[in-house]
């Protein structure tokens, strides 16, 4: 395996993926052998195995089932289905069955919120799980039937494009954007992208032309282009659709960027949950090479550029661009200190442009149609359109494209949502807006989003939503800095306590204080936004939090008396003096 990857440490994740797939864990022997073959410390390999949730040092089942824990899956009855699945397979959640055939666990959102409840089996997406499908899956697993012989519809992933707009309606032919750029001139094409006002579609909104120009102006000649296809924000799945049906345009946008900044190598960092797209994307790249649109001498010798696909391994933080670069280098995805920014010092310390799938897709369309075409849509500060992934309580979940400036009310009407309590715009790290705010607009200057748009109706429990999101952040915190590592766990515990009916007025005060600390002291965007689900819901629905509190000033979240049980047994005591009274209520 190491030889297949030319013994390059940068390919550690690829190699570990292959070992995990073959042995259902990473055996200790493999760690030793890889350390020797790749000439890297074994601690770096162990660190990576422990960092990425798809790797394990202990054996998983030969059929590894992971069920998505996204809020939308919960809304579709995930909890009950999980219990049914565990019962059918005779395995507890988080365990491997004693015969080693199957293991079952939760995983973060798999990017199938429009067709859940969803999960993964040995890394491949399973959609539309229900009791009858689970019955069949249990039978297939118990019969140890290879995945290739499972019914194809179990793995069917639909695009669900409901409302195409500016970009999705303007399909361009293979090579059209590159030919247009060559005819116009690469500098002039960059000027068109500048004129279009295109800003990064991952959520941060940095001007694309400026990023490309900064990178092109760097002194170092070796430069890289990276496409961030690690869309891990719960409720986001539009990049999945772009890569499934419009990969040519995405690759063309990357090639255009390479021609402008002078890069010879590009990477598509594909989230591990989209393993089902890997083969199709490799075929698209091969087709482009055969057509002279990738490789050496593209466009009659004007450009040399190729693209390699790298798969992630289940780490939300790798969507952060510097963590993604660390991951591309075969390391744990810990966000770097910034500055320097990737345009100055990115992959292997070289100038690197990192853009989202949708950004490259939009850039290729702009190269064909021009900057004015794009800038004519949207608002003054947010030009063009935004592709949304809509899920939750609506009749038509799927992909919608709107010019910036469209109201939330109009979007809700289109997707068939009624009796709406609120909308989570931008996923858990975004904003929860109430039904009083539906005239607000989709725009960088109002409601910015990387694409996630989750609808909640009047029957939903606000605290259950905040609870799910805080669990997500506590699970996905990379653990590098204390405010986020400890803070997200404290936040989760506080929410557990309040939703469990043990919260008091003091707990809400403590909750706000923890939110403030995480937001202001965390190292990267994950920590800085992890408190948003609590802050935005607490601000809008304080009465819903209040109604869940007990009428006491404080109840500890830790059972001190229970923790003393072992000591009591050892001392052979069970008298009143050997017990502690903990709560104000108990004292009364
Ligand atoms: Fe890691 Fe959280 Fe710190 Fe970001 S804020 S570096 S995710 S621990």
CATH architecture of 463-546: Up-down Bundle (1.20)
Report the mean per-residue pLDDT for the chain.
Answer: 94
User: Using an 8 Å Cβ cutoff, are 503 and 549 in contact?
Assistant: yes
> How far, in Å, is the centroid of ligand 1 from the Cα of 480?
5
> How far, in Å, is the centroid of ligand 1 from the Cα of 291?
43
Could you report the predicted ipTM of this complex, rounded to two decimals? 0.99
Both tokens of residue 120? Answer: 């993964």
What are the structural domain ranges in the chain?
A: 9-51, 63-158, 162-375, 385-460, 463-546
Is the CB–ligand 1 distance for residue 478 below 6 Å?
yes
DSSP string covering 136-193: HHHHHHHTT--GGGS-GGGG-----EEE--TTTT----TTHHHHHHHHH-HHHHHHHH
Largest CA distance in the chain: 90
Q: What is the pLDDT of residue 557?
A: 60
Handedness of CA 39, 41, 46, 52 (dihedral sign): negative
Other beta carbons within 10 angstroms of residue 244's beta carbon come to: 16
Q: What is the pLDDT of residue 417?
A: 98
Handedness of CA 458, 460, 461, 467 (dihedral sign): negative
Is the CB–ligand 1 distance for residue 315 below 6 Å?
no
Q: Considering only CA atoms, which of 524, 508, 438 is closest in space to residue 473?
A: 524
CATH architecture of 63-158: 3-Layer(aba) Sandwich (3.40)
Residue corresponding to tokens 């670069």 = 325
> How far, in Å, is the centroid of ligand 1 from the Cα of 317?
8
Is the CB–ligand 1 distance for residue 525 below 6 Å?
no
pLDDT tens, residue by residue, 430-478: 999 999 999 999 999 999 999 999 999 999 999 999 999 999 999 999 9
Give me the phi and psi of 8, to 5 degrees please. -90, 120
What DSSP designation does 163 have? E
> How far, in Å, is the centroid of ligand 1 from the Cα of 536?
21
Other beta carbons within 10 angstroms of residue 535's beta carbon come to: 18
Is the CB–ligand 1 distance for residue 488 below 6 Å?
no
- The CA-atom distances, in angstroms, between 431 and each of 77, 416, 428 are 24, 21, 7
E strands in 278-322: 295-297, 303-311
Is the CB–ligand 1 distance for residue 484 below 6 Å?
yes
* Cis geometry, peptide bond prior to residue 117 (ω within 30 degrees of 0): yes
Q: What is the pLDDT of residue 581?
A: 62
Sheet holding 224-229, edge to edge: 295-297, 303-311, 265-270, 224-229, 352-356
Is the CB–ligand 1 distance for residue 335 below 6 Å?
yes
Q: What is the CA radius of gyration of the chain?
A: 25
Using DSSP bridges, classify how beta strands 102-107 and 303-311 pair: parallel, antiparallel or unpaired.
Answer: unpaired
Q: Considering only CA atoms, which of 204, 190, 529 is closest in space to residue 356?
A: 204
What topology is assigned to 385-460 in CATH?
Answer: Ubiquitin-like (UB roll) (3.10.20)
Residue corresponding to tokens 């047994």 = 569
Q: What is the pLDDT of residue 207?
A: 97
User: Using an 8 Å Cβ cutoff, are 269 and 312 in contact?
Assistant: yes
Is the CB–ligand 1 distance for residue 526 below 6 Å?
yes
> How far, in Å, is the centroid of ligand 1 from the Cα of 532?
15
Give this prediction's pTM: 0.93
CATH architecture of 162-375: 3-Layer(aba) Sandwich (3.40)
State which residues of the chain have pLDDT below 50: 583-588
Residue corresponding to tokens 């590894």 = 64
E strands in 362-516: 385-392, 398-403, 420-425, 431-434, 452-457
- The CA-atom distances, in angstroms, between 565 and each of 67, 323, 502, 571 are 36, 44, 21, 10
């Amino acid at each position: 395996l190491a030889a297949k990857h030319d013994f390059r440490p940068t390919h550690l994740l690829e190699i570990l993926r292959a070992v995990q797939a073959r042995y259902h864990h990473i055996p200790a022997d493999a760690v030793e052998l890889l350390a020797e073959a790749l000439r890297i410390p074994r601690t770096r390999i162990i660190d990576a195995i422990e960092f990425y949730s798809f790797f394990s040092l202990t054996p998983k089942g030969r059929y590894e089932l992971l069920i998505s824990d996204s809020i939308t899956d919960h809304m579709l009855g995930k909890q009950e289905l999980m219990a049914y699945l565990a019962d059918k397979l005779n395995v507890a959640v988080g365990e491997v069955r004693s015969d080693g055939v199957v293991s079952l666990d939760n995983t973060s959102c798999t990017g199938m919120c429009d067709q859940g409840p969803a999960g993964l089996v040995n890394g491949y997406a399973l959609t539309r799980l229900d009791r009858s499908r689970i019955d069949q899956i249990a039978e297939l697993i118990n019969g140890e039937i290879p995945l290739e012989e499972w019914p194809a519809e179990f793995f069917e992933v639909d695009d669900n494009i409901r409302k195409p707009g500016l970009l999705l309606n303007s399909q361009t032919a293979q090579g059209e954007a590159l030919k247009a750029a060559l005819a116009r001139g690469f500098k002039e094409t960059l000027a068109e992208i500048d004129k279009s006002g295109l800003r990064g579609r991952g959520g941060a909104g940095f001007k694309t032309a400026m990023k490309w120009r900064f990178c092109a102006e760097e002194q170092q000649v070796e430069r890289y282009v990276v496409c961030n296809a690690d869309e891990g924000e719960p409720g986001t799945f539009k990049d999945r659709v772009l890569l499934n049906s419009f990969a040519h345009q995405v690759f063309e946008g990357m090639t255009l960027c390479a021609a402008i900044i002078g890069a010879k190598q590009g990477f598509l960092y594909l989230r591990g949950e989209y393993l089902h797209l890997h083969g199709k994307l490799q075929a698209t790249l091969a087709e482009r090479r055969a057509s002279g649109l990738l490789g050496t001498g593209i466009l009659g010798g004007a450009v040399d550029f190729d693209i390699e696909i790298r798969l992630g391994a289940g780490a939300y933080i790798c969507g952060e661009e510097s963590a993604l670069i660390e991951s591309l280098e075969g390391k744990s995805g810990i966000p770097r200190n910034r500055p320097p920014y990737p345009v100055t010092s990115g992959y292997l310390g070289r100038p690197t442009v990192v853009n989202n799938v949708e950004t490259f897709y939009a850039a290729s369309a702009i190269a064909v149609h021009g900057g004015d075409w794009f800038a004519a849509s949207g608002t003054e500060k947010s030009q063009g359109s935004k592709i949304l992934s809509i899920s939750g309580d609506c009749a038509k979940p799927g992909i919608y494209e709107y010019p910036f400036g469209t109201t939330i009310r109009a979007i809700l009407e289109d997707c068939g949502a009624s009796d709406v309590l609120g909308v989570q715009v931008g996923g858990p790290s975004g904003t929860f807006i109430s039904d009083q705010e539906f005239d607000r607009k989709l725009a960088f200057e109002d409601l910015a989003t990387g694409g996630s748009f989750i609808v909640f109706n009047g029957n939903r429990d606000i605290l259950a939503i905040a609870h799910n999101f805080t669990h997500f952040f506590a699970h996905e915190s990379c653990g590098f800095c204390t405010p986020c590592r400890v803070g997200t766990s404290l936040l989760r515990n506080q929410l557990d306590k309040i939703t469990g009916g043990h919260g008091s007025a003091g707990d809400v005060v403590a909750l706000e204080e923890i939110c403030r600390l995480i937001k202001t002291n965390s190292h990267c965007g994950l920590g800085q936004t992890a408190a948003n689900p609590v802050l935005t819901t607490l601000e809008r629905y304080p009465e819903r939090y209040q109604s869940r509190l007990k009428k006491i000033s404080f109840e500890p979240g830790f059972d001190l008396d229970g923790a003393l049980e072992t000591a009591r047994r050892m001392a052979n005591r069970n008298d009143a003096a050997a017990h502690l009274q903990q709560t104000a209520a108990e004292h009364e």
